Amino acid sequence: MNINTNYQNISDSYLFSTIAKKVNEFAVANPDKEIIKLGIGDVTLPLCKIVVQALKTASEEMGVKETFRGYGPEQGYDFLKTKIQKYYQQHNVELDLNEIFISDGAKSDLGNILDLFSSDNTVIVPDPVYPVYVDTNTMAGRKIVYIDANAENEFLPLPDNSVKADIIYLCSPNNPTGAVYNKEQLKCWVNYAIKNHAVILFDSAYECFITDENLPRSIYEIEGAKTCAIEFCSLSKMAGFTGTRCGYTIVPKSIENGLLNKMWLRRQTTKFNGVPYIIQRGAEAVFTPDGQKEIQENLNYYKENAKIISETLKKHNIWHIGGKHSPYIWLRCPNNMTSWEFFDYLLKNVQIVGTPGSGFGKNGEGYFRLTSFGSRENTIKACQRIDKMFEC
């Protein structure tokens, strides 16, 4: 037996596992301290009522012989794919049902999609970056080229034509920075991908937070993107499905004359048994008029949390971006602290947990991520603690 030695090239612990360990150690040593967590991007509001009702109805169907369902189509039921198709039409994007694949979340597919590509492909990832992009390619032994995202380019790097790559990761709105590409900037990436015969893996997990009609919510709003881009999206942040697990991936037939679409279908039918029928019925309810209304109320709740955090940081002249079209606020650590120094300082002095920017790459050093996914009560309480911290 020979093991995959590429695993020796990744850290022993996932970023958020390290954070959890440090927080747990502090909590054990300080049982009287109330810790407010604004670090991991998990939602706190419950599922919408219409979703819960759909889940209940589908569960009852599974208990009746006439409506019981066994194995479903690995690529998802048409009743859900049709709803997603219509959702894209609202943004002037036309998709074939066979280009839509239902999954258990964007994170899974962002890693699984790499089955379609040779390990000798070169990968571009922005730095700072969602760790999954890097770790999954490191596990496969691919060469990774980092492009700098920093304050100078507003954390929205553009392609360098002197660099040749085969696979490109883009996330907009971005995790961790909250920065959003405009159409002209994404067009630069599409042109680069076409010129270099590369594929863009576009993570649009946070597209639902975009409210500016001039900002693209799908890369397919960009001319030529359907010939070079695969899009991943999730209901985790859109509809609170972090514990329910459902998402979708779009693989256009116009990429490689349909080859990648056929390969992904073959991969999924071989390695994946599909998302449970009950969950897909819940997801279907998300895309109904009532579902969209209810989830928008939740999104507005998180946006107001982001506004509260942003206003607090502005009050103390803390540089930051994000929050407007994203649940994430990306701030510069005060007093030239490193990312982990500021993490420890917040935890020790005001019992607030965030995410050190250095955990997302070298360009994240000196920065820090807070999320708006907490409760309103905890968000206000955390900001009050930040006020007192800077007053001292």
Contact 371, 327 (CB under 8 A): yes
Give the pLDDT confidence of 125-159 residue by residue, as tens digits: 999 999 999 999 999 999 999 999 999 999 999 99
Domain termination residue (choose one: 257, 287, 317): 287
Domain of residue 341: give its range. 13-42+291-391
DSSP secondary structure of 242-295: TTT--EEEE--TTGGGGHHHHHHHHHHHHH-----HHHHHHHHHHTSHHHHHHH
For the chain, the straight-line distance linking the first and the last C-alpha, in angstroms and rounded, comes to 60
Q: Are residues 112 and 254 in the same domain?
A: yes
Q: Are residues 278 and 302 in the same domain?
A: no
Contact 313, 350 (CB under 8 A): no
Q: Are residues 189 and 203 in the same domain?
A: yes
Whether 3 is covered by a domain: the verdict is no
Q: Could you give the 3-state DSSP secondary structure of residue 291? A: helix
Whether 363 is covered by a domain: the verdict is yes
Percent residues over pLDDT 70 in the chain:
100
Whether 325 is covered by a domain: the verdict is yes
Whether 6 is covered by a domain: the verdict is no
Cα 93 from Cα 196, distance rounded (Å): 24
Contact 260, 116 (CB under 8 A): yes
Give the pLDDT confidence of 325-339 residue by residue, as tens digits: 999 999 999 999 999
Q: Are residues 115 and 221 in the same domain?
A: yes
Say how many domains are in the chain. Answer: 2
Taking Cα atoms as reference points, which of 207, 199, 201, 197 lies closest to residue 231? 201
CATH number at 177 reads 3.40.640.10
In the chain, beta strands by DSSP E: 36-37, 100-103, 122-127, 143-148, 167-171, 199-203, 229-234, 247-250, 320-322, 328-332, 352-353, 355-356, 367-371
Contact 226, 218 (CB under 8 A): no
CATH number at 297 reads 3.90.1150.10
Taking Cα atoms as reference points, which of 216, 217, 204 lies closest to residue 174? 204
How many CB atoms lie under 10 A from the CB of residue 24? 11
Domain termination residue (choose one: 252, 287, 322): 287
Q: Are residues 166 and 311 in the same domain?
A: no
pTM score: 0.96
Q: What is the pLDDT of residue 353?
A: 97
Domain termination residue (choose one: 267, 287, 307): 287
Whether 90 is covered by a domain: the verdict is yes
Contact 100, 287 (CB under 8 A): no
Whether 1 is covered by a domain: the verdict is no
Q: Are residues 192 and 312 in the same domain?
A: no
Give the pLDDT confidence of 46-65 residue by residue, as tens digits: 999 999 999 999 999 999 99
**β-sheet bridge partners, residue 1:** none
Q: Are residues 34 and 165 in the same domain?
A: no
Q: Are residues 202 and 90 in the same domain?
A: yes
Q: Is the pLDDT of residue 13 over 70?
A: no
